[in-house]
């Protein structure tokens, strides 16, 4: 079985090995693959693994040997799954491998915003505390989370993990979800989207990107948020209207924005969120803990084994 990994560097930049995949066939790993290189590098492959390298209908049609596309991520919008199904090509994804890591990043952003540990550590490294007249100082708002209200949009695996952490911090948890009230733990209050945005001190986005949710956080919705509210996005970049969020930050309407995703990645230098006031952007790394990447590769191997045995799992095509 000829297996090709087209963009292996982001998943394994060298701190893990590919031996489990090598045991399943002849393996070729490319760190990165440009659009112009996809067909040539995949021509002899029966199994192709990709994180962000896209497969259009035209690309799939040009690869007659292709039998299986494994997406090394949960989201699979980079694949034309209908074209794959027409060709009989199985497409799988990797569900729920980074749940705890992403929920952890949500609170890394929240705690950075409310306590600004990095800011004070940098100031003290420059000697500010050593030269201070008093035993302490602060020049940012310091916020206690207990008793505040946190709204979670989308209660899938990551949304639920975030809700559990929020409860541990003493936050009142609201959620906008398709789950019925009977399916929710008693500490989660179900709310409409408008109720949640209007009432919560912190809003965290965990819903999938669809035509309904694209730019769901626009100028109108931002205007309904509480003055001084915090917005977190570890879901999908296009869930927010980036210019509208930047405008709300720069005007002081929105206290802070923490995000691990943007609408285009890597972003253009003029993305307004990169320079907006109290905008804290991490480079799509919530999923990238070693633990999560180890799970990802393990599930990838099991997906291929299941496919080879004739009982494919995690199929999205």
Does an H or E element contain 47, and which? Answer: strand 47-50
**Residue 119 is among the residues annotated as catalytic for this protein:** no
Does an H or E element contain 4, and which? Answer: strand 2-5
**Residue 167 is among the residues annotated as catalytic for this protein:** no
41 in Cβ contact with 6 (< 8 Å): yes
Task: In whole angstroms, give the CA distance from residue 20 to residue 45.
Answer: 18
| Distance in Å from the first CA to the final CA of the chain | 21
293 in Cβ contact with 16 (< 8 Å): yes
**Residue 291 is among the residues annotated as catalytic for this protein:** no
Active-site position among 116, 149, 221, 236: 236
* Helical ranges in the chain per DSSP H: 19-22, 38-42, 57-61, 81-87, 99-115, 117-125, 157-168, 193-199, 219-223, 242-250, 290-308
266 upstream amide cis, omega within 30 of 0: yes
Task: In whole angstroms, give the CA distance from residue 246 to residue 277.
Answer: 8
The pair of three-digit structure tokens given for residue 70, joined into one six-digit string: 């494994």
Does an H or E element contain 284, and which? Answer: none
C-alpha triplet 271, 259, 300: angle, nearest 5°: 110
- Which of the residues are catalytic? 236, 265, 284
């Amino acid at each position: 079985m000829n297996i090709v990994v087209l963009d292996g560097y982001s998943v394994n930049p060298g701190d893990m090995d590919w031996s489990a995949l090598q045991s399943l066939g002849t393996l070729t790993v490319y760190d990165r693959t440009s659009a112009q290189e996809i067909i040539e590098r995949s021509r002899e492959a029966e199994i192709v693994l990709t994180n962000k390298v896209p497969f259009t209908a035209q690309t799939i049609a040009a690869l007659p040997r292709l039998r299986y596309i494994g997406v090394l991520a949960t989201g699979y919008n980079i694949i034309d799954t209908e074209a794959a199904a027409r060709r009989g090509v199985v497409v799988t994804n990797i569900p729920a491998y980074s749940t705890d890591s992403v929920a952890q990043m949500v609170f890394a952003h929240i705690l950075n915003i409310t306590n600004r540990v990095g800011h004070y550590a940098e100031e003290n490294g420059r000697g500010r505390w050593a030269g201070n007249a008093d035993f302490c100082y602060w020049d940012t708002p310091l916020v206690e989370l207990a008793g505040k209200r946190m709204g979670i949009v989308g209660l899938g695996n990551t949304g639920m993990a975030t809700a559990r952490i929020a409860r541990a911090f003493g936050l009142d948890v609201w959620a906008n979800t398709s789950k019925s009230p009977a399916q929710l733990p008693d500490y989660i209050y179900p709310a409409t989207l408008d109720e949640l945005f209007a009432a919560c001190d912190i809003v965290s986005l965990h819903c999938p990107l669809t035509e309904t949710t694209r730019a769901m956080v626009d100028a109108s919705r931002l205007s309904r948020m509480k003055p001084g509210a915090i917005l977190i996005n570890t879901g999908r970049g296009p869930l927010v209207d980036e210019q509208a969020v930047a405008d709300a930050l720069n005007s002081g309407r929105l206290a802070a924005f923490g995000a691990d995703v943007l609408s285009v990645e890597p972003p253009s230098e003029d993305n307004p969120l990169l320079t907006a006031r109290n905008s804290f952007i991490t480079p799509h790394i919530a999923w990238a803990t070693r633990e999560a990447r180890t799970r990802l590769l393990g599930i990838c191997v099991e997906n291929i084994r299941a496919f080879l045995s004739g009982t494919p799992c995690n199929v999205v095509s």
